[in-house]
Amino acid sequence: MSTEELISVNYEIFGRVQGVFFRKYTQAEGKKLGLVGWVQNTESGTVQGQLQGPKNKVRQMQDWLKSTGSPKSQIIKAEFKNEKNVESLDYSAFSIIRS
């Protein structure tokens, strides 16, 4: 059993992130890193969600969200909040929530 710290963090990404497959790429990257959580578009034109998993993998995903995103996206800003340690994961997969 791994004793690696599990963390949960909420995120919101600003820029040209809707209509550019941002959610699909975010889901794929999250799965690749073994993270769970969700991603959805907001009415204000941002993308938001939650990441959960081993701390180092969440950090990699945060870097990806800040700097990479989907090929046609233009990320202006990434905000992360409510970071906390968790005993166990709240989700079993990385989902796209369609509003």
41 in active site: yes
Q: Rounded distance, CA 31 to CA 21, Å?
A: 16
**Both tokens assigned to 96:** 């796209």
Catalytic residue among 10, 16, 23, 98: 23
Which amino acid, one-letter code, is at 26?
Answer: T
Going by their DSSP bridges, the two strands 47-54 and 6-16 should be labelled as: antiparallel
Q: Please confirm, yes or no, whether 16 is among the known catalytic residues.
A: no
Closest CA to 58 of 24, 23, 74, 82: 82
Which listed residue (10, 16, 41, 82) is catalytic?
A: 41
* Catalytic machinery residues: 23, 41
